[in-house]
Structure 1
Amino acid sequence: MEIRHSTNPADAKHYDTARLRKQYLIENLFQADQINMVYAHDDRLVIGGANPVGKKLTLEAADVLKTEYFLERREIGFIHIGGGEAVIETDGERHTLGKLDTLYVGKGTRSVTVSSANPSEPAKVYFTSALAHATYPTRKVSVQEATTLNLGALESSNERTIHQIIHENGVQSCQLMLGVTLFKPGSVWNTMPAHLHDRRMEAYLYFDMNADARVFHFMGEPNETRHLVVSNEQAVISPSWSIHSGAGTSSYAFVWAMAGENYSFKDQEFIAMDALK
């Protein structure tokens, strides 16, 4: 498990491209027959990817956590982003996930494994895990069961559908929030106008991109913006002080996840366009 320590905006505005990418971009989450994880000290979110091919992969408590098992003091949300069906077993209970199906697993679950239903069609499963103080039941949902918001317009190139899955009016958790945003044809801008929520960090996973497509992900303080050039199936850590917005060279989708103080999707401060610099 890789560790990424927190940063503050006074330091981050001096970072060059290499430092920005090292600090905030996660490039190699999905590798055959591996579970890869990053421990972000921003709200102690763990960001990970599993790509089981010929093996059943076990979610283990790395030395970083100093616990007997991974979910001893944590909760986790899995979302299947591509390939064939994924199979997640939680304390012996089997859950099969198709594309964009989500599985929430609560604190106290001792055994979690991830495998592909068909090794010839390997699954890719993205997950985020937050600290938890109470136990909520394990629950699988499809994207069709999510709370759905249709926002933006084609004229502003940001007509999109937001599926809120793990949140206050959906799958219950302690503090983890997770959903997926899909775009209408011809739209490429996400989360614009930009916003902040100083009480929560956020992580984005960009996916369903062509090999030569890129997303220009904008971050930083509103008056000190920076950008990352992001490829398919790469993730971005967004500190609570940073905006998080992006535009793609072609079609894409992204999974967003949050953890922190307030358990409300509406806890955000929009930034006026003339305040961005």
Structure 2
Amino acid sequence: MEIRHSTNPADAKHYDTARLRRQYLIESLFQSDKITMVYAHDDRLVIGGGLPVKETLKLEAADVLKTDYFLERREIGFINIGGEAIIDVDGERYTLGRLDTLYVGKGAQDVKLSSSNAEQPAKIYFTSALAHATYPTRKVSVQEANTLELGSLESSNARTIHQIIHAGGVQSCQLMLGVTLFKPGSVWNTMPAHLHDRRMEAYLYFDMNESARVFHFMGEPNETRHLVVANEQAVISPSWSIHSGAGTSSYAFIWAMAGENYTFKDMDVVAMDELK
């Protein structure tokens, strides 16, 4: 498990491109028959990906967690972006189609990931946050999520937001997760930009062709920076940073949040004339 320590905005504004990418960009989450994880000290979120092809992959606690099993003090949300996935949780089996989500609460000890078909392997993205109580394991499809239609074609940001793990959907302690899909011709996400200083956020960009890129904007509103992001790469967004982007062609992204607040209403919108 790779460790990424927290940063502060006064230091981050001096980073060059290479340092920005080392600190905030996760470039390789999906490796054949492996589970890859990054421990972000920002709200102690674990960001990971599993690509089971021929093997069944067991979710195990790395030494950094100092626990007997991964979910001893954590909860987790899985979302499948590949072929049909199988997730076994303490002997109970869940089958996940594309964009299906599985929430697993604190205390589950035996979690295994596999694919139904090695020729079309699952790609299982997950985020895990600290938990103080146990909520029931629950599978949900993207069609069952709370759905919002935002933006417009005129502003190139017409998009559908599917809120999946949140107070009004799948219950959790602090983890929030969903997926955003775009209307044809729209490329801007989360614009106007916003901040939520009580929660960090992570993005996984996916459904991009090989040559496409997303220009992900981050930093303080008056000190913006950008990351050039390829398909199936993830971004760690600290609580002090905006998080927005534009793609060179179509894409989708999964967002996940963790922190103090458990609401969408704590956002501070950044006016366009504040961005620099």
Short-chain TM bin = over 0.9
Per-residue deviation at 1:108?
A: 0.2
TM-score normalised by length of structure 1: 0.99
Q: Distance in 1 between matches of 2:47 and 2:264?
A: 20
Answering whether residue 48 of structure 2 is matched by residue 48 of structure 1, we say yes
Once the two structures are superposed, residues 67-121 of structure 1 have per-residue CA deviations (whole angstroms, 9 ceiling, x without a partner) of 0000000000000012x20000000000000000000000000000000011111
> Paired residue for 1:168?
167
Match for 1:77: what amino acid? G
> Paired residue for 1:7?
7
SS in 1 for 2:65: coil
Unaligned runs of 5+ in 2: none
Q: Distance in 2 between matches of 1:243 and 1:207?
A: 20
Matches within 5 A, 1:9-88: 9-82=9-82, 84-88=83-87
Q: Distance in 2 between matches of 1:252 and 1:261?
A: 30
SS in 2 for 1:205: strand
> Paired residue for 2:155?
156
The ranges of structure 1 where at least 4 consecutive aligned residues each deviate by more than 3 angstroms after the TM superposition are none
Q: Distance in 1 between matches of 2:139 and 2:153?
A: 33
Per-residue deviation at 1:176?
A: 0.1
Matches within 5 A, 1:1-277: 1-82=1-82, 84-277=83-276
CA root-mean-square deviation: 0.3
Q: Distance in 2 between matches of 1:132 and 1:259?
A: 10
Q: Distance in 2 between matches of 1:252 and 1:228?
A: 16
Q: Percent identity?
A: 84
SS in 2 for 1:43: helix
Q: Distance in 2 between matches of 1:268 and 1:152?
A: 17
Q: Distance in 2 between matches of 1:248 and 1:175?
A: 30
SS in 1 for 2:231: coil
Once the two structures are superposed, residues 189-219 of structure 1 have per-residue CA deviations (whole angstroms, 9 ceiling, x without a partner) of 0000000000000000000000000000000
Match for 1:271: what amino acid? V
SS in 2 for 1:64: helix
Q: Distance in 2 between matches of 1:197 and 1:39?
A: 21
Q: Distance in 1 between matches of 2:91 and 2:206?
A: 30
Q: Distance in 1 between matches of 2:89 and 2:148?
A: 31
The farther-off stretch of 263-272 and 244-253 is 263-272
Per-residue deviation at 1:183?
A: 0.1
Per-residue deviation at 1:267?
A: 1.6
Q: Distance in 2 between matches of 1:99 and 1:246?
A: 24
SS in 2 for 1:216: strand
TM-score normalised by length of structure 2: 1.00
Once the two structures are superposed, residues 9-45 of structure 1 have per-residue CA deviations (whole angstroms, 9 ceiling, x without a partner) of 0000000000000000000000000000000000000
SS in 2 for 1:203: strand
Match for 2:251: what amino acid? Y
